[in-house]
Amino acid sequence: MKNNNVLWAGRLEDKPDTAAFEFQSSIRVDKRLALDDILGSKVHAAMLAKGGIISDEDFKALDKAFAEMIEEQIDDSIDEYEDVHSYIEARLKERLGDVGRKIHAGRSRNDQVVTDLRLYILRILPDMCKNFLKQVDATLNTASLHLETIMPGYTHLQRAQPVTLAHWICAWETAIIRDISRFVDALKRMNECPLGSGALAGSGLPLDRAFTAKELGFERPTLNSMDSVADRDFVIEIVSDCAIMMTHLSRFCEDIVLWSSQEFGFINLADKWSTGSSIMPQKKNPDFAELIRGKAARVEGNLVTLITLMKGLPYAYDKDLQEDKEALFDSLDTLEACSEYFWQMFNSASFNKEKMKAACIGGFMEATDAADYLVRKGMPFRTAHEVVAKIVRHCIDTERKAITELPFEELHTFSEFFEEDVYTSLEPEACVAARKTSGGPAPEEVKKQIEALRARSKELAQVSR
């Protein structure tokens, strides 16, 4: 790395040595902002010309150079520079000499870097959300194949009440749709342009901030120049949204890891989404699910990095803020890959319906339904709860696996409210079918949930910056 490409050499007699210079430079991380830096600079130049700060001729030369630079491939030689801003300005000077030296009028890297960062997020995040929505749609197709696939639902990881696989998938997708809408909200809030805020105190030159904001597609300029360069709320917000979504994915992964164990045996992951063991020839491991669960920790760590970074920083700009980008980029990259791989893995898996249904027998998951049965016949719920608790106790003592294994005469001794129809109403399918409350697992209700999620997904797909 060379340390003679800096924008600030005039004031200082000595420069940091190469290693120290490399330590404080940010090019390896911020080079992905090159396109955004060029676009921001192009509009800044247009604004300078419009205000008579540079000539139209200079603007034309600059504009042409920017158009060419957009097409240019960036190679490793960029790593010689301190940051992406120095690189772009150096390339301009190489091409245009003194005209290139005019671009930084009325601008600081402090307002430039946050403008670039906002432009970058606004450029890539809508497409990322659209990809998430495609994954939602594909998974809702899987859900609609499993409206009748009965399985146990759990609380405290103890068998609780029967549900269906479709109901379970809709639970996941409801969370994912919420995650995507969080990104969409954040995009709206961050759609303001900091350019023209300078180092912290604006500029004495006649800058037209409304013009640059509009030309760059922002809704408006930011309100206060100090806040503009000090603020990283939008980064915290996006990374927090990433962390919440990763937390969801990690929970789904935990379900997959459990379901693919021999103890559960509900799911069979495709071979291409599994790995083997170097020593145990029989193994088929859910490594992808485990790794995605693990990667949630990195993104959660990035959120802690950012809020800790911001805590106690004096206004306005501090070099500490350079640390924001690594946490942001890593979070976006990690989430994008994890979401893609998780849903590919899930949607290519097969399900062992017999095992899922068999797991509904033996845990007395029909107990609440038996109590509901008695309530329907007129018994107060608390009394019904006590009656059924006694029945369950009796079944355990007499080694019966389900309430329905009791002959009618025996069942009747617990309550006269029981009639012959109790047997059919306690089958797992009947328990699920009876749970017709909106949001519940009854197939017709889950169908409505799938439709509602599809509608929400369609709405969110309108996202643009």
Please list the active-site residues.
Answer: 156, 277
Comparison of 252 and 317: residue with beta carbon closer to ligand ARG: 317
Comparison of 201 and 389: residue with beta carbon closer to ligand ARG: 201
Comparison of 311 and 319: residue with beta carbon closer to ligand ARG: 319
- Torsion, CA 339, CA 344, CA 345, CA 348, rounded to 10: 160
Contact between 226 and 233 (Cβ < 8 Å): no
Comparison of 322 and 352: residue with beta carbon closer to ligand ARG: 322
- Quote the CA–CA distance of 147 and 447 in Å, as a whole number: 8
DSSP three-state, residue 434: helix
The residue with tokens 């309430």 is 403
- Quote the CA–CA distance of 143 and 346 in Å, as a whole number: 11
Q: Which residues in 234-348 belong to E strands, given as ranges?
A: 267-268
Comparison of 38 and 321: residue with beta carbon closer to ligand ARG: 321
Comparison of 239 and 411: residue with beta carbon closer to ligand ARG: 239
- Nearest to 31, CA basis, from 101, 112, 85: 85
What value, to the nearest 5°, has the Cα angle with vertex 372 and ends 367 and 378? 135
Query: Tokens in use for 409?
Result: 């005469």
10, 123, 246, 327 from 240: Cα distances, Å? 41, 19, 10, 11
- Quote the CA–CA distance of 456 and 449 in Å, as a whole number: 10
Q: Give Rg (Cα) of the chain.
A: 30
CB of residue 105 to ligand ARG, shortest distance in Å: 17
Residue 401 C-beta-side C-alpha neighbours within 13 Å: 6
CB of residue 183 to ligand ARG, shortest distance in Å: 23
CB of residue 8 to ligand ARG, shortest distance in Å: 8
Comparison of 83 and 89: residue with beta carbon closer to ligand ARG: 83
CB of residue 165 to ligand ARG, shortest distance in Å: 47
- Quote the CA–CA distance of 25 and 16 in Å, as a whole number: 11
- Quote the CA–CA distance of 236 and 244 in Å, as a whole number: 12
Which residues bind to ligand ARG, rule: CB under 6 A? Answer: 26, 30, 83, 109-110, 113, 317, 319, 321-322
CB of residue 85 to ligand ARG, shortest distance in Å: 6
Residue 390 C-beta-side C-alpha neighbours within 13 Å: 11
- Torsion, CA 451, CA 452, CA 456, CA 459, rounded to 10: 60
- Quote the CA–CA distance of 441 and 355 in Å, as a whole number: 19
- Nearest to 112, CA basis, from 257, 308, 322, 277: 322
CB neighbours of residue 266 within 10 Å: 22
CB of residue 108 to ligand ARG, shortest distance in Å: 7
